[in-house]
Structure 1
């Protein structure tokens, strides 16, 4: 799940297409059991996390940009204006990084979609639940003029009571034997509005949140949401100016058996993330 405000978007190049990924970075009694997951299971944890997510929407995001521009001359894959189901359809992925975050997005509608998608992933990560990593993410994606106030607001939100309610200690650490999961996985993106220096982008996402481990009372569950980000071009890169989130679109759940806790924990530890490119 994400710290942005609840998340939405399909979309593509010139109004069609989909977000693509480009460069990989990198038993009985078990709460996960063998039973199928209910259609809307364990919403309490998601609701609690959603309270924090909504705080981001209430704070105006300023912008800060640094890093080298993307390789705008790189050829695109697929036919312009058409969906390419398994390949990135736009500008070459960025090669620069601001800390752990990609930077140097192209000053185009495709670049705005790439930026919004990668920011959604960062703001929805488990690192946001720990003071140091959270500060790094905020500093890497926001105007220095608003960082201090924003961090104060977020630090107040990640209170001891909140951490306890989702099964973490005051430092955002899961109990021994447990793995805390918080991931935002973009499905697609589209541009609502675009000018040379501003853009509004929807990012349709699914998310995972919960504690994986034997005896967990807060098992990892999935949710669907759309993040709408208003971006501005500052200092040679796109930065979020404001963000909001809405539930869905949500597909019908399949018939997959819910995995046991160890399988979920191993998957989270073993599968790395991506840099997303339009």
Structure 2
């Protein structure tokens, strides 16, 4: 999922990436890779609108306010605390009722929401129920289903069920770089996740190669039903490092890497 203008990925400038001699890289493109990622990011991370805007689902206001925490430097090494011991349909759940647990939850939820599962109806519905509060999940399901229309999926090179063409691999991943506690109270937390995302189609006939982007995804979490749940979330661009001079991989290399390298359970 996933993987906004705040949820989009606008073109902010040129890069120095060198494309290989590969049909995948040289084929005509229906849209620029940046534009494609903009569209995908908007839909994958859609909260309250289908348009190219990023609006968080309003969190329930029960009068309680979380204590604001000034962001400060913190070590990124593992804390030594096991992040979670259970999974629900492949998604880590059952995080600790602590600030560290909230950070671990936010990181793993970002990974799930930036995955290819968001492009298929049944798995998308399951993720909404698992990751969001009941109120947020109920308000998101219909607009998300409308956004992930057959027409939109076709623009992504997918069929109406969200499947890629034969001999092609659809890539959508979020890779957390670090987390920051912006606010924390007993039952509420605001956690920012800095991540890099991958999106695109790897295949000899692909017109939209896999590209990368950098975003910060902020989650308003609530302690609900014995776990952290998302009440609202927003995104913004960056911070993005200066692009390197690495030679872009071929479609076969990207497809193979996607199949061979699995993800992690992220811990703070």
CA RMSD of aligned residues (A): 2.3
| 1:252 to 2:249 alignment | no
Written as runs of structure 1 = structure 2, the 5 A alignment for 1:126-275 is 126-275=116-265
Report how far residue 145 of structure 1 moved. 4.7
After superposition, the C-alpha distances for 1:202-248 in whole angstroms (9 at most, x for unaligned) are: 00000000000112100000000000000011121111110000010
Contact 1:178/1:213 (8 A) holds in 2: yes
2:2 is matched with which residue? 2
Report how far residue 28 of structure 1 moved. 3.7
Report how far residue 135 of structure 1 moved. 1.3
CA distance in 1, matches of 2:115, 2:219: 17
- Going from structure 1 to structure 2, the CA distance change for 1:231 and 1:144 (only over 3 Å counts) comes to closer
TM-score, structure 2 normalization: 0.80
Written as runs of structure 1 = structure 2, the 5 A alignment for 1:7-46 is 28-32=21-25, 42-46=33-37
Report how far residue 43 of structure 1 moved. 0.3
- Going from structure 1 to structure 2, the CA distance change for 1:249 and 1:146 (only over 3 Å counts) comes to closer
Task: Note the residue ranges of structure 1 that are not aligned, 5 or more in a row.
Answer: 8-26, 34-40, 64-80
Contact 1:5/1:243 (8 A) holds in 2: no
Q: Which of 45, 50, 53 lines up with 2:41 in the alignment?
A: 50
1:83 is matched with which residue? 75
Structure having greater relative contact order (Cα 8 Å, sep ≥ 6) = 1
Contact 1:230/1:241 (8 A) holds in 2: yes
Report how far residue 154 of structure 1 moved. 0.9
- Going from structure 1 to structure 2, the CA distance change for 1:97 and 1:248 (only over 3 Å counts) comes to same
Report how far residue 101 of structure 1 moved. 1.2
CA distance in 2, matches of 1:267, 1:29: 17
Contact 2:44/2:113 (8 A) holds in 1: no
Contact 2:4/2:41 (8 A) holds in 1: no
2:24 is paired with a residue of what secondary structure?
coil
